């Protein structure tokens, strides 16, 4: 089985825009299993750990400001090829370039051109682990073992 777990965050802009329900619905519709979920308001230090690979980028200060400006909804989704599947559903980093049908493409149209001059982060609603290796690090950073649950869904009988 290619069962994987991946970390998804509905970022402050997604939470504040009231998009959480519709975003979560898409993941449930495709048959992914929610195995962990919570709301968390992270600080600058946690942002630097989560975005460790990006701390030296010119846009990092804006990214930190954006990700700490309100609470996020964090979840761990489980399913076949979950990392790749969720990235496909999330779409490209820049909402302007993200394909229609993806979360970023359907719910935003923000562009690098609009943010770069001002040193702001692009607002793209959602974070999802980029690779299986990244997902393991991120799930362990955001969730303790007692916050992750094992149970059966109908998809395990009819979709897998």
Output the smallest distance, CB 92 to Mg ion, in A.
11
Q: How far apart are CA 4 and CA 40, in angstroms?
A: 23
Q: How far apart are CA 108 and CA 51, in angstroms?
A: 22
Does residue 50 belong to the site contacting ligand DAT (CB under 6 A)? no
Does residue 130 belong to the site contacting Mg ion (CB under 5 A)? yes
Q: Which does 108 bind (CB under 5 to 8 A by kind): ligand DAT, Mg ion, none?
A: none
Would you call 127 a catalytic residue per the annotation? yes
Does residue 112 belong to the site contacting ligand DAT (CB under 6 A)? yes
Cβ proximity to ligand DAT: between 115 and 153 the closer is 115
Q: Name the burial class of residue 52, with classes exposed (0-12), middle (13-18) and buried (19+) by CB atoms within 10 angstroms of its CB.
A: exposed
Q: Which does 89 bind (CB under 5 to 8 A by kind): ligand DAT, Mg ion, none?
A: none
The residues carrying an active-site annotation are: 127
For ligand DAT, the binding residues (CB under 6 A) are 54, 59, 63, 93, 112, 115-116, 121-122, 124, 127, 130
For Mg ion, the binding residues (CB under 5 A) are 130
């Amino acid at each position: 089985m290619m069962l994987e777990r991946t970390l998804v965050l509905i970022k402050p802009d997604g939470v504040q825009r009231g998009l959480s329900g519709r975003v979560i619905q898409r993941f449930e519709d495709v048959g992914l299993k929610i195995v962990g979920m919570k709301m968390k308001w992270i600080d600058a230090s946690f942002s630097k750990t989560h975005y460790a690979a990006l701390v030296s980028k010119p846009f990092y200060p804006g990214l930190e400001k954006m990700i700490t400006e309100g609470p996020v909804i964090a979840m761990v989704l489980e399913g076949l090829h979950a990392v790749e599947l969720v990235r496909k559903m999330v779409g490209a980093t820049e909402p302007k370039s993200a394909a229609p049908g993806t979360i970023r493409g359907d719910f935003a149209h923000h562009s690098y051109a609009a943010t770069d001059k001002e040193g702001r982060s692009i607002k793209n609603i959602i974070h999802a682990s980029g690779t299986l290796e990244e997902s393991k690090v991120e799930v362990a950073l955001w969730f303790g073992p007692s916050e992750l649950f094992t149970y059966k869904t109908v998809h395990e009988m009819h979709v897998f």
